[in-house]
Chains A and B, each alone.
Chain A
Amino acid sequence: MIVKYLPRALLYAVLLLAALFFLAPLYVMLATSLKDAEQIRSGNLLSLPATLNFEAWQLAWSSACTGVDCRGLRPYFWNSVSMTIPAVLISTAWGAVNGYVLSMWRFRGSELLFGLLLFGVFMPFQVVLLPMSQVLGYLGLSSSVEGLVLVHCLAGMAGTTLFFRNYYAAIPKELVNAARMDGAGFWRIFWRIVVPMSTPILMVTLIWQFTNIWNDFLFGVAFSGADSKPITVGLNNMANTSSSVKSYNVDMAAAMIAGLPTMLVYVLAGQYFVKGLTAGAVKG
């Protein structure tokens, strides 16, 4: 009996350990954010908060100080929202159209183009910081949310194109041919035939891009101005502001606020993420 269940028990033990490993920091953050300063100083890092105290969250959201600016994370949060939403939508749509062309309307050199595009996926973004800031300067988009949107669209396009191109490569070419014979053109085929088949990969790409762009620090810190800093930069600055007493509970609450949207997206759309990643073939 024991021999029979041992492998399974071991399997669960390993999985449980892995889950614990990843959940522990989250627990510490959440627990600390709900404690007051007193309890943090006296207590154990892993202890449960004595009372549910949302004061730190309140502070982090609207009145914690970064330097002399005491507006909390709120302005950065909205900067991030107004940067992430357009950047995610545009880069995803862009990748979908690129993938559609590269898989279904191949032309002379399209494979080469795709190969070059793949460099964009592997390229470390530090390489483009200087030229990008030049370009933003030429375009008059330096230090603006619009500039960040542009940067994220360009940086994400290679990855989104890869996703869509590989997904669409599995759609039978005959489907496009049938639509062409039926009289549909390039865009009509895209909207009526291809996009309706794209739900899984659309979800994957949206989640992927949302996570990348929301969590981005590099571009945020390099290209934002005083009024366009995203939440990652805001969080960093707030946590690094030196004051007499370190308010760990406020820092943790701020980190939670910064991380919540991505967690929410995974919870809401995570099932599509797994489905999309595993759905290789589309049955015609």
Chain B
Amino acid sequence: MAASLHIAGIRKIYGKDAHAVEVLKRIDIEVAPGEFLILVGPSGCGKSTLLNIIAGLEQPSEGELRIAGKNVVGVAPAQRDIAMVFQSYALYPTMSVADNIGFALEMRKVPKEARAKRIAEVAAMLQIEHLLQRRPAQLSGGQRQRVAMGRALARDPQLFLFDEPLSNLDAKLRVEMRAEIKRLHQVSGITSVYVTHDQIEAMTLGSRIAVMKDGVLQQIGTPDDIYNAPANTYVAGFIGSPTMNFIAGRAHSMPHGSRFDYQGGGVDVADSLTGDVRLGLRPEHIHLADSASWRGQVALVEPTGADTYVVVNTEAGAVTLRTPPRVAVRVGDAVGLEFARENAHWFDASTGLRLDVKGRTH
């Protein structure tokens, strides 16, 4: 039943004339059947608006939207064959869990026996059989989340939409439900669009990630693409925790390639780079090395268990490192830093766009 989703030139403008606010600025996204697309970005980036437009709860000001090849602009939400999981779950408070799950089927005039059978199937899939007669108010947060999933699953839609479904759960439950959603997607194979501001959810769940900011699609690609070849400094900084280190400096041509100089250090680059450039380094790609010429002083040591984050003040600014857990440095120590050239990301300092430079594997 997996359907494709085709988003072309979608714009959304609120207000008019002088007060017009363009929330979505020509969004183009192709989603292949069975894909799990993540829309990620900070609050106010337009991701929820885009989701509501796909759902049919809002109309685009301009653009084309196709589900399974069929143009759905102007089609009522109910006719789009989409199921949606809401952030607040939006369970019907006066209905039992079973009625909540079966409501969409009832609206589609599915006979009672078939409905009961489907409700039982879905409940078994989500392990909520024992909750079927309860009211939403009698459920815990995690249970409500499962019921909301069940309601979406019940009618086997063409498309699943998720609007930050895990943001109301505590950390442990969130990890559990994240795995559950991934499992359900693998079982059902239904094309899904998932809105979140949580980059971990984005990386773990998505087959592709669309990063948005201020109504503009910044980059769309696999989690690997997004992480290892971010299209600009915004994406580079948004995805990854701790966030990528940026080092400003100037590059100039050399006989074989070029050289990048920053406060307190420099590095040869195989390709030609000139002008103001920013060097991007992931925390895991910077290492402590006593003999290195790039020096700094340890400002903070943050053990997280699996890793320890070390913040080092250098002349080029504070740099965060991801180090093994039992690293032998203390606050105030003078340390040397080194990184491998192939792990460096290069960005134009004024536009923030990625500069493709040889000597990198990606």
Which of A's residues lie within 8 Å of B, judged by CB? Answer: 172, 174-175, 177-185, 188, 192-193, 196-197, 282-284
Contact = CB atoms under 8 A, between A and B. Distances in A.
B340 interface: no
A202 to B, nearest CB: 13
Contacts of A178: 84, 86, 90-92, 151
Contact of A182 (B56, B103, B137): B103
A182 B80 CA distance: 10
Given A196-B94, A197-B94, A283-B137, A181 B89 contact: no
B77 interface: yes
B38 interface: no
30 contacts: A174-B88, A174-B90, A175-B93, A177-B84, A178-B84, A178-B151, A179-B92, A179-B103, A180-B76, A180-B78, A181-B55, A181-B77, A181-B83, A182-B78, A182-B104, A182-B107, A182-B151, A183-B107, A183-B108, A184-B107, A188-B107, A192-B103, A193-B94, A196-B94, A196-B95, A197-B94, A282-B93, A284-B90, A284-B91, A284-B93
A83 to B, nearest CB: 33
Interface in B69-121: 76-78, 82-84, 86-95, 103-104, 107-108
B124 interface: no
Contact of A181 (B84, B93, B94): B84
B57 interface: yes
Contacts, number: 68
A170 to B, nearest CB: 12
Contacts of B82: 181
Interface of B: 55-57, 76-78, 82-84, 86-95, 103-104, 107-108, 136-137, 151
A183 B81 CA distance: 9
Contacts of A193: 92, 94
B92 A175 contact: yes
A184 B103 contact: yes
A187 to B, nearest CB: 12
A209 B256 CA distance: 89
B107 A174 contact: no
A174 B103 contact: no
Contacts of B76: 180
A177 B108 CA distance: 17
Nearest to A188: B107
A181 B88 CA distance: 15
Contacts of B136: 284
B99 to A, nearest CB: 9
B32 to A, nearest CB: 23
Nearest to B82: A181
Nearest to A185: B78
Contact of A284 (B55, B56, B88): B88
Contacts of A192: 92, 95, 103
- The list of the 9 closest CB pairs from A to B, nearest first, reads A183-B107, A196-B94, A182-B104, A178-B90, A174-B90, A183-B78, A174-B86, A180-B77, A181-B77
Nearest to B157: A181
A197 B93 CA distance: 8
A73 B305 CA distance: 85
B160 to A, nearest CB: 11
A282 B151 CA distance: 21
A175 B95 CA distance: 12
A180 B92 contact: no
